[in-house]
Amino acid sequence: MRWFWIDRFIEFHSGKSAKAVKNVSLAEEHLHDHYPGFPVMPGSLMIEGMAQTGGILLGESHGFKHVVILAKVPKMIFHSWAQPGDQLIYSCELLDAREEGGTVSARATCGDRLVAEGEIMFAHVDKSQAGPAGANQKNFVFELGLLDVLQVGKAGDGT
Amino acid sequence: MPSREEIFEKVRETLVDALGVDDDEVTPEATLIGDLGAESIDFLDIVFRLEKNFDIKIPRGELFPENIASADSGFVVGGKVTDAGIAELRTKMPHANLDKFATDPKVEKISDLFTVDMMCKFLAAKLGV
C-alpha cells in the first residue's frame, strides 16, 4: 500500500485553500479489521488525508523549499463516520504560513454531512535538524510521489 | 493598549486553545511543562498563537530560549547550573523568577521557569504596558 490518503485535488488556491477527494473503498485492507462487519475509515487516516491536503497547501506556498512535517493536531472533532463507497472531501484553509511552519483549518465532508473538523499544525524541518541520516522525504507530508496528486482537476477526460 | 488583566486573559485563552487545558488550570503560577503538560512542539504553537492574538512578532528564542543548558553549553556542572549559567538565564529570561531557581539550580528545574506569569510579564514588556 502506498501512503496516499488523498486521491486527487479538486481545488487549489495557492496560499489560501485546497480541496482534495478521498474515495473510501472496500479494497482497502485495513477496513476489514476496522471493524469486521462494520468497515469505517479510521479517524487517524482521515487526519492523515487532511494533513496531506493542508501540508501540500502550506508547502506550495513556500515553493516546496521546506520539508513539512505534521507537528500537532490541536483540535479535531469527529461528527460522523465514512464507509466504503463514501466520497470524502477534505477542505483546508491556510490560517498561518511562516518560516517555522504553519497551521490549517481542516474539514472532512461526505456530501452535505460533516464528518470531521479541526486544526492541523505543521513544522518545517531543515536538513540540519533531521538527524544524521538527513531529511528523509518518506517521513514527511509530501513524499515525492504524492506531489503527483497536485495535478488539480485532471480527470480521465482531461477536465 | 491592553491592561495586565487583559493580557492574562488572552494568555489564558491562548493556552486553553494550544494545550487543551481548562480555564481554571491556567493560573499565573502554573508551569507550562509540569502543570499544563506542554511538549516541545507546543512552544512553537503557543508563539504562533500569541503573535496572532496580540498582533506582535516574537523572534525565535525570545520568549522560550533554546539550548540554554545543553550539555555543551558549559553552564552545567554536576547536574546544576553554574553561577555564570544563572547570569545567562537572567539575561535571556528577564521575566522569569530566577531567585527561587538560584537556591537549588538543578538543571531539570529549568523547565519550571516557564510559567504563565513569565509569559504575561514578557508580553507586558513587549507591549510597553
Residue A80's CATH number: 3.10.129.10
Least confident of A28-42, A77-91, A122-136, B84-98: A122-136
> In terms of domains, do B57 and B77 share one?
no
Quick check: helix, strand or coil at residue B42? helix
> In terms of domains, do B104 and B129 share one?
no
pLDDT category, A130, cuts 50, 70, 90?
low
> In terms of domains, do B54 and B6 share one?
yes
> In terms of domains, do B12 and B43 share one?
yes
Residue-number span of the structural domain to which A49 is assigned: 8-146
> Closest to B17 (Cβ–Cβ): which among A74, A100, A101?
A74
Cα A78 to the center of its chain, rounded Å: 16
Residue-number span of the structural domain to which B101 is assigned: 66-112
What is the average pLDDT score of chain A?
87
What pLDDT does residue B103 have?
93
> In terms of domains, do B60 and B121 share one?
yes
Residue A3: how many other CB atoms lie within 10 Å: 12
Q: Tell me whether residues B44 and A71 touch, CB distance under 8 A.
A: yes
Q: What is the ipTM of this complex?
A: 0.78
Please work out, in degrees rounded to the nearest 5, the angle formed at the alpha carbon of residue A41 by the alpha carbons of A37 and A46: 170
pLDDT category, A139, cuts 50, 70, 90?
very low
> In terms of domains, do B100 and B118 share one?
no
For B:14-33, CB contacts with A below 8 A are: 17-18, 20
Distance set, CA A84 to CA A9, A10, A33, A115, B61 (Å) = 20, 20, 13, 14, 47
Is A74's pLDDT higher than 80?
yes
A34 is catalytic: yes
Decide: pTM greater than 0.90.
no
Residue B129: how many other CB atoms lie within 10 Å: 14
User: Three-state SS string across B55-124, please?
Assistant: CCCCCCCCCCCCCCCCHHHCCEECCEECHHHHHHHHHHCCCCCHHHHHHCCEHHHHHHHCEHHHHHHHHH
pLDDT category, A138, cuts 50, 70, 90?
very low
pLDDT category, A136, cuts 50, 70, 90?
very low
> Closest to A71 (Cβ–Cβ): which among B17, B41, B60?
B41
Mean pLDDT of B77-102: 91
Q: Tell me whether residues A72 and B48 touch, CB distance under 8 A.
A: no
Sheet with A113-125, edge to edge strand ranges: A8-13, A17-23, A87-97, A101-110, A113-125, A67-78
